[in-house]
Amino acid sequence: MFKNLWRQRVQLVEADLIRELHATNSLDEKLVQAMEYSLMAGGKRLRPILLMAAADACGTAGEKFITVADALEMIHTYSLIHDDLPAMDNDDYRRGKLTNHKVFGEAMAIIAGDALLTLAFEVVLRQKDVPPEILLNVLREISTAAGAAGMVGGQAIDLRSEGVQIDFATLKRMHAGKTGALFRAAIRSGALLAQADEKILDALTRYAEAFGLAFQITDDILDVTGDAAVLGKATGSDIKNAKSTYVSLTSLEAARNFAREAVEAAVDALKIFGTEADFLRELVTFLTAREK
């Protein structure tokens, strides 16, 4: 049930992503190809899935807000393209495929990322059947989460921490920005779109923050214990790049304990919900037990 719904919605999102991409009248065909290459490179589509699941938990079928959900995936994709650039992480592979700049060249990869970020906002504005004030609040949520106070801010900390021993508080701040902010925005956007009240919004926000933490710690663990073939990317890259992680700053065992606590906190945040939040409960458990 849980996995079926996930798979179903991933298919919906992927079909919709490609539709929204081509609904923009690009001046250059190659640019669209570069955007599409990374946008359709697979992945868990977690941010759209989270947005829809949050709306479900608030009593509105998440599919209704698929357009905003698409936008979050576009922002995530642009960030991966830029992250992989030679000047950044300099990665040749992502999800088992060549990275964008390896295929389209560095310049095109930079502007394909720029275009995807811009398209994300264009796409949010295409969301139907949502009152204007609510759409503006969702845009506020997403733009704040994606920028210097969120995702890009986290990337900046990451950039400046390479080869440097950072403290635990900085590590948490980095991840709260780099990955946490967009997860949080996905979940809060789902709740805002479903017009949830403050109490429900607060509960889902607490879930989102614990979820982000659990996800990131698991990511750090997998970089040590994971199978490169299953992950579709090289393991050990954190050690190679001398990056501080939940594992390197504590231990594998301590990191596993942190992950477990975060899952508990996420599930606890959902205690005011009934079965309508089952997907969110299963998702956090599943993701921390994942192998990729």
Residue 272's CB: how many other CB atoms inside 10 A? 12
Residue 207 in contact with residue 189, Cβ under 8 Å?
Answer: no
Q: How far is the CB of 92 from its own copies (least distance, A)?
A: 16
Q: How far is the CB of 268 from its own copies (least distance, A)?
A: 27
DSSP of 27-64: S-HHHHHHHHHHHTS----HHHHHHHHHHHHTTS-GGG
Phi then psi for 192, rounded to 5 degrees?
-65, -45
DSSP letter for 86, please. T
Question: Which residue shows structure tokens 């967009």?
Answer: 182
Query: x/- binding map, residues 42-81, to its own copies, per CB under 8 A?
Result: ------------------------------------xx--
Of residues 77 through 136, those in contact with its own copies by CB under 8 A are 78-79, 82, 85, 87-88, 105-108, 110-111, 113-115, 117-119, 121-122, 125, 132-133, 135-136
Given 5, 10, 18, 31, the residue binding its own copies (CB under 8 A): 31
Q: How far is the CB of 180 from its own copies (least distance, A)?
A: 11
Binding-site size for its own copies (CB under 8 A) equals 54
d(CA 97, CA 196): 40
Residues forming a β-bridge with 97: 94
d(CA 9, CA 279): 12
Query: x/- binding map, residues 176-215, to its own copies, per CB under 8 A?
Result: -x--------------------------------------
**239, 243, 249, 251: CA torsion to nearest 10:** -30
Cβ proximity to its own copies, 15 vs 136, nearer residue: 136
Cβ proximity to its own copies, 32 vs 51, nearer residue: 32
Cβ proximity to its own copies, 8 vs 165, nearer residue: 165
* CA terminus-to-terminus distance, the chain: 21
Query: x/- binding map, residues 130-169, to its own copies, per CB under 8 A?
Result: --xx-xx--xx--xx-xxxxx-xxxxxx-xx---------
Q: Which of 207, 188, 154 is nearest to 69 (CA)?
A: 188
Cβ proximity to its own copies, 25 vs 275, nearer residue: 25
> What amino acid occupies position 54?
A
List of residues contacting its own copies (CB under 8 A): 24-28, 30-32, 35, 78-79, 82, 85, 87-88, 105-108, 110-111, 113-115, 117-119, 121-122, 125, 132-133, 135-136, 139-140, 143-144, 146-150, 152-157, 159-160, 173-174, 177
